[in-house]
Every structure is written in structure tokens, then in C-alpha cells.
């Protein structure tokens, strides 16, 4: 069953991408001729998402003007001009603009290439994998060797039954969080109304044995600094020759 609602976390300041982000919001920084957020929104649309909430703060007018041109998915804006809500607060606020039910959540500056055209996409697989009866959240995860632009940090250890724990040195099967999550909106029904970090909910789910992971097919990228742009473009050329 496809998940048709999504939240894209796009309100950050992009300080490490300065001076580019002195005049441009980070999600609109172009990678191989295409703004970062379009890679994310195209992945969501291809997976069956029809409505996406996008939070805006830094150069919010530019974000709204650019994204208003998109037809799929349909964009609704979660306005954080007055105050940034951090990852958790931004998600909780944006969910109020979407239908109750399962939601895909993505960061605006994390995406991947190299999916096999004849097989279900990573987001389709994540939507199918997510079971709200057993899981608070299902996270898309990636092996460190399949990343570009990452700082080398290992986020979680993935057990044989799919459960995730915070990674500690020496644990088996270390993985990196790929910035895509499936969850049910009711998880945030009692969320605080101010800024908070999404990691609070990750740790709560781990304590309950309800945080699960699914491995990504393809190659994952994050673009956090100007130096990371040519690295990401090289990966895109390698996996997507001719466009």
C-alpha cells in the first residue's frame, strides 16, 4: 500500500554551505543542474506521494516561489519564519497539515541514486515494510561504504530482526541513517508545540523495541559543504550517465 502523504524537512540555515547559502536556501542549491529538494520530491512522487508538507524558514519566499510551480506532489507549506522548530518540532507542526495516517518523512538535503528501475524503489519498499502495529518508525538505512559526503559517523546497529539500537564501538552491522522515515501521524499526537529534536522519538522507540531499519539499494549522498557538491555530481554522473 503506497503512502501518499509526506513531510520534507527543509527549514535549516545551511550554515556549512556558506557563502552559497548567503543568498539561497540550502534545498535550492543546484546539484548537477537540479536543486537538491527536487531530487527528494521526485523520489517521493515516484513512490506514490501526492501531498507533501515542506517547512520553510531561511529565504522562505524563495522556497515558496520555487516549489509553488510543482505539480507533483502537491506542496503545502509549514511556515517557520518566526522561529525554527528543530527536526522534531518542525515535523510535528508539518504533520498537522497532512491527513492522519502513515507518512513518509525526508530531509531536503539527503537523497540517493542507483535504484534498479525494474524493482520497487527504496521509498516504496519502506512504505511496504512499515507496520504501525509493531513499529513506531521505520528508518531507511545505508552502509557507510555506499555514502558520499557523510562525516563517517555510524548511527545505529541493525539487528537480524530489523530492530535498531544506537551504535557503540564494536557493535555488529553498523549503519548510517539515510534521512527517510515511515511513521504514523498519531505518534506525534501529543508532541510538544515548541522546538525539539527528533532524536527524542528515536530513543523512545528504541527503548520500546519499536525502531526498525531497512537497507537502502543504491548510493546515498549528503551535501553539507561547497566541497561536497562536485563529489555528489561525480556520483550522479557515474550512476546516471547521460542524465
Residues linked to residue 170 through DSSP beta bridges, in sequence order: none
For residue 233, pLDDT over 60 is answered with yes
pLDDT digits (tens, 9 = 90+) for 104-113: 999 999 999 9
- Choose among 77, 128, 86: nearest CA to 104: 128
Give me the domain span that covers residue 79.
5-239
For residue 241, pLDDT over 90 is answered with no
Rounded to two decimals, what is the model's pTM? 0.94
Question: How many residues are present in the chain?
Answer: 243
**Tally of CB atoms within 10 A around 152:** 7
For residue 172, pLDDT over 90 is answered with no
In the chain, % of residues over pLDDT 90: 86
547559502: which residue's cell? 21
Contact 70, 76 (CB under 8 A): no
CATH number, domain with residue 110? 3.90.550.10
For residue 239, pLDDT over 60 is answered with yes
Number of domains in the chain: 1
pLDDT digits (tens, 9 = 90+) for 115-129: 988 899 999 999 999
Contact 74, 51 (CB under 8 A): yes
Crossing angle of helices 199-207 and 86-95, in 10° steps, is 90
What are the helix (H) ranges across the chain?
36-46, 60-67, 86-95, 122-129, 199-207, 228-239
pLDDT at position 11: 93
CA distances to 119, 123, 137, 209 from 203, rounded to whole Å, are 32, 23, 11, 10
For residue 243, pLDDT over 60 is answered with no
Amino acid at each position: 500500500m503506497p503512502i501518499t502523504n509526506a513531510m520534507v524537512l527543509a527549514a535549516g540555515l545551511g550554515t556549512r554551505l556558506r557563502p552559497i547559502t548567503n543568498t539561497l536556501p540550502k534545498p535550492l542549491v543546484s546539484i548537477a543542474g537540479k536543486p537538491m529538494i527536487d531530487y527528494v520530491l521526485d523520489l517521493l512522487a515516484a513512490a506514490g506521494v501526492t501531498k507533501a508538507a515542506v517547512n520553510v524558514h531561511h529565504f522562505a519566499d524563495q522556497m515558496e516561489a520555487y516549489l509553488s510551480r510543482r505539480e507533483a506532489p502537491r506542496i503545502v507549506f509549514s511556515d517557520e519564519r518566526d522561529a525554527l522548530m528543530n527536526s522534531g518540532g518542525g515535523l510535528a507542526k508539518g504533520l498537522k497539515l497532512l491527513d492522519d495516517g502513515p507518512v513518509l518523512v525526508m530531509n531536503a538535503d539527503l537523497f540517493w541514486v542507483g535504484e534498479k528501475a525494474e524493482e520497487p524503489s527504496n521509498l516504496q519498499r519502506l512504505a511496504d515494510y512499515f507496520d504501525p502495529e509493531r513499529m513506531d518508525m521505520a528508518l531507511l538505512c545505508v552502509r557507510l561504504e555506499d555514502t558520499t559526503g557523510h562525516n563517517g559517523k555510524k548511527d545505529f546497529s541493525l539487528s537480524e530482526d530489523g530492530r535498531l539500537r544506537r551504535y557503540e564501538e564494536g557493535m555488529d552491522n553498523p549503519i548510517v541513517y539515510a534521512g527517510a522515515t515511515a511513521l504514523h501521524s498519531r505518534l506525534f499526537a501529543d508532541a510538544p508545540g515548541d522546538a525539539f529534536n527528533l532524536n527524542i522519538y528515536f530513543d523512545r522507540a528504541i527503548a520500546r523495541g519499536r525502531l526498525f531499519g531497512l537497507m537502502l539499494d543504491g548510493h546515498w549522498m549528503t551535501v553539507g559543504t561547497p566541497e561536497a557538491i562536485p563529489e555528489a555530481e561525480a556520483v550522479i554522473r557515474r550512476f546516471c550517465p547521460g542524465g
